[in-house]
Structure formats: C-alpha cells, structure tokens
Amino acid sequence: MKQQQIMFISGIDTDVGKTIATGFYANRLAAQGRSVITQKLVQTGCSGVAEDIQRHRKLQNLPLQQCDLDGTTCRYVFDYPCSPHLAARLAQTEIDLAQITADTQILAQQYDVVLIEGAGGLAVPLNNELTTLDYLQQQSYPLILVTSGKLGSINHTLLSLVVCQQRGIALQALIYNHYPQTDPIIENETQAYLQRYLTTHFPQAEFIELGEVV
C-alpha cells in the first residue's frame, strides 16, 4: 500500500469548509477513476452516524456504506459540540488513536484512497498529550489544508504551513474555499498572496479553488 493513498484534510480553523472540501476532493479523485472513501477522525456535536460522514456521502451521491454504519469511518462520535479531548472526557471515555489508525488501514485495503477529515484546525487536542498535528506527524500522512478569503486567513494559513514545515509534514494541496463570500477586495488579495506563497515555499503542492457546492 502506498502512503499517498491516505491523505489528511484539515483547515486553518473550524467552520472553514473542511467537510465540503473533503466531499469535493473525493469526487475529484473518483472522476479520475479511483475508488475513494472518507473517514472522520472524531465527530462532536451529534450522535449516531457522524454528521460529516453523512454530508460526504450526499456530496458523493452515495448511500451510507457498511463501514459508516459499523463505525469504521468514524469510531468516535460525541454529543457535546466541543474539542475532541473535552468531548471524550465528558463522555467518560478516551480516544484510542491506535484504533483510528487500524480503521484507516482497513479502509485502505478496500479503497484506492482514504481521505481523513480532521476536527477543527491542526492544533486541536485529541487528549491531554496529543494534538491533531502530533497524530498527523506520527502517521506521515500528506496534508490537504482548507483555507478561505475571510479577514485573518492569511495569518492562520501561514501559521499552519510554517508548523507543517517545522514538523516535516508534506503539503498535498491548499484548497481555497470561496464561500461564504465576504469582502471581494480582501478575498482577491488573500487568494493572490497565498498562491504566490505556495509557489515559493511549497512548489510541489497544488492550489485548488473551491466554488459554491449545493
């Protein structure tokens, strides 16, 4: 199994469009003839089948798969809408990262590509010791980072990219989410700046624009 068959999707912050970007990227790969499954690292703020997994399947125009129903694509779903480490504590349990990794390997044996959507940004704590960034570094998954044109995005994006350089995390792509639209002057400059930055510092990474997804 090639390592690039497993990719991690994170964002510069919460509510930046990771879930839609994950479904979009899955469809992009599927159009190239590859079988794709999505996985959610941890889901908070719901119960049952993870909301983000359900959203992925709708975007892929697919029904829920057996691996969704049995929890393989999202082992940890917590009711309280907060950071994974706190949600697990409130549920009086712990997030077993080894189990999540095992689930990913099972999926990777069945599909050409596994796209793992994180929860929030890169520095979100999964327990009292490890963050999503730590887990990503341990697994050596290439990263797809989702950003946007809202005010502050340049700062948040560059901070995320700099820490990836420091941690030796490969950047597969930067997805620029155009929606929701705010200030076109700021959005246009943010896009242009990030494209220039990527060309200079991450020339191997792809810059992808994400338009409105219904």
Contact in structure between 16 and 148 (CB atoms under 8 Å): yes
Our answer to whether residue 40 is catalytic in this structure is yes
Q: Is 33 annotated as a binding residue?
A: no
The reply, when asked if residue 16 is annotated as ligand binding, is yes
Tokens representing 136 are: 């990503």
Q: Rounded to 5, what percent of the chain is helix, strand, coil?
A: 45, 20, 35
120 marked ligand binding residue: yes
Give the C-alpha separation, 184 to 173, whole Å: 23
Asked whether residue 118 is marked as a ligand-binding residue, the answer is: yes
The answer to the question of whether 20 is labelled as a binding residue is yes
Q: Is residue 154 annotated as involved in ligand binding? A: no
Q: Is 119 annotated as a binding residue?
A: yes
19 annotated among ligand-binding-site residues: yes
Phi, psi angle pair for 120, to nearest 5°: 70, -150
The three-class DSSP label of residue 151 is coil
Residue among 2, 40, 58, 150 flagged as catalytic: 40
Region of residue 46 (phi > 0: left; psi between -120 and 50: alpha; otherwise: beta): beta
Tell me the β-bridge partners of 145. 10, 174
CA–CA dist 148, 153 (Å, integer): 6
Name which of 139, 200, 183 is nearest 10 in CA terms: 139
* Geometric angle at alpha carbon 151, from 149 and 156, rounded to 5°: 80
According to the annotation, is 23 in a ligand binding site? no
| Rounded Cα distance, 138 and 111, in Å | 22
Annotated binding residue 117: yes
> Which residues are annotated as part of the binding site?
15-20, 44, 52, 117-120, 177-178
> Which residues are annotated as part of the binding site for substrate?
44
> Which residues are annotated as part of the binding site for ATP?
15-20, 52, 117-120, 177-178
> Which residues are annotated as part of the binding site for Mg(2+)?
19, 52, 117
Catalytic residues: 40
